[in-house]
Structure 1
């Protein structure tokens, strides 16, 4: 009965060779497991393993899958469904991606304050970048949420791929708010810019654990209703 009522959670992230990225995802998984009192597994759609396919094939019964992405781009809408299909699994319920969400905004605001930002100082909102319009729309929504929370209008900029580039729009008095889940190459690029401060990535902030908890419980209700 427990496996049906409280199915395990699979956090699926992009994957990176930078060891800091998987460490963040593993800490989020551990915190979510403690909070939800269910097994939480980790898989990836690219670069490193285990893949979502491999993890799903090792699990029995219903599974809740949560894309640990800040926007619903190609990996969320195409890669992950393809991996789920390749696993030949039934009983898989997929949550919405992590972002955009108010919990992420709270984490970003706290990271900014830690970096020295004070109300009134200009914020440069910086995301990884994408050529996928769905992902870019999610990033714009996230920038609007943070802007409302911080009392200013924010237009997103990007580390790569999309325009405008953060390096071209930020000034020496600005504080950069990285719309990044984990440290890595993109955050290192931002940290090199001549600005007043660069906040840390969102990381394993307690608000993110709360968001994972909320996403899981919503999906669990859907699974039970089905």
Structure 2
């Protein structure tokens, strides 16, 4: 069985590196499992191309932080086009609590301290369900930061990140709700906050979540001892 990590894709080489780092860490946790990286947009290989090269069943883990258009439409379409006869698709990574733990760690590493207002900055979507996922993530992050967390979108939804930052008083921190570096993350530096956390990347909690998704989908026998546990 093959595990395919399906990401959005970016023209920024650092974004591809981040996805490959997640895949490499998953390979260490799941020895003997073929772990491949595919992209739904912008970058190759596409999910269709990767699945066409797979021999046997495949498990696709959408490396997205909300179940928007790419997860609900692009992923199923590309699977259908591949002709792969046996594909299991897991839920997207967000807004799982493990991802929020990673976001919190990145925020603290950027210099955030208790009492500083936080804006959770997401890419944005026209899909109301994806927007709702971001708001759920903000509520979880507010528990971790022990204060209200505002939501801001980089595109396609309101409020915008600058609007959310402007609504806060005093020093403001942006928590990046982005998986990998790219144009969207670069824009955050100019959106009025005093500090911006790094993208989530190959944080151990994200790697753990991918492994859990794979196990739940039956990628390996649960009785097998996994490396790193």
Same fold? TM cut 0.5:
yes
Which bin holds the TM-score, normalised by the shorter protein? Answer: over 0.9
Corresponding residue for residue 3 of structure 2? 9
In structure 1, distance between residues paired with 2:14 and 2:43? 13
In structure 2, distance between residues paired with 1:57 and 1:45? 14
State whether residues 143 and 154 of structure 1, in contact with CA within 8 Å, keep that contact through their aligned partners in structure 2. Answer: yes
| 1:31 aligns with one of 25, 28, 31 | 25
Displacement after TM superposition at 1:221 (Å): 7.0
Partner SS state of residue 65, structure 1: strand
Displacement after TM superposition at 1:223 (Å): 11
The answer to whether residue 59 in structure 2 is matched with residue 64 in structure 1 is: yes
Give the CA RMSD over aligned residues. Answer: 1.7
Give 1:117-196 correspondences, 5 Å limit: 117-171=112-166, 173-196=171-194
Query: Which TM-score applies when normalising by structure 2?
Result: 0.91
Unaligned 5+ runs, structure 2:
223-229
| 1:218 aligns with one of 193, 216, 219 | 216
In structure 1, distance between residues paired with 2:177 and 2:51? 29
CA deviations 1:23-62 (Å, max 9, x no partner) are 1111100100111111110111111111111100101111
Q: Which contiguous aligned blocks of 4+ residues in structure 1 show a shift greater than 3 angstroms? A: 221-224
| 2:15 aligns with one of 14, 21, 41 | 21
In structure 2, distance between residues paired with 1:105 and 1:170? 20
CA deviations 1:178-209 (Å, max 9, x no partner) are 10001111111111233221111111111110
State whether residues 23 and 35 of structure 2, in contact with CA within 8 Å, keep that contact through their aligned partners in structure 1. Answer: yes
CA deviations 1:110-149 (Å, max 9, x no partner) are 1111111111211111101110111111111111111111
The answer to whether residue 211 in structure 2 is matched with residue 207 in structure 1 is: no
Partner SS state of residue 43, structure 1: strand
Unaligned 5+ runs, structure 1:
1-6
State whether residues 90 and 217 of structure 2, in contact with CA within 8 Å, keep that contact through their aligned partners in structure 1. Answer: yes
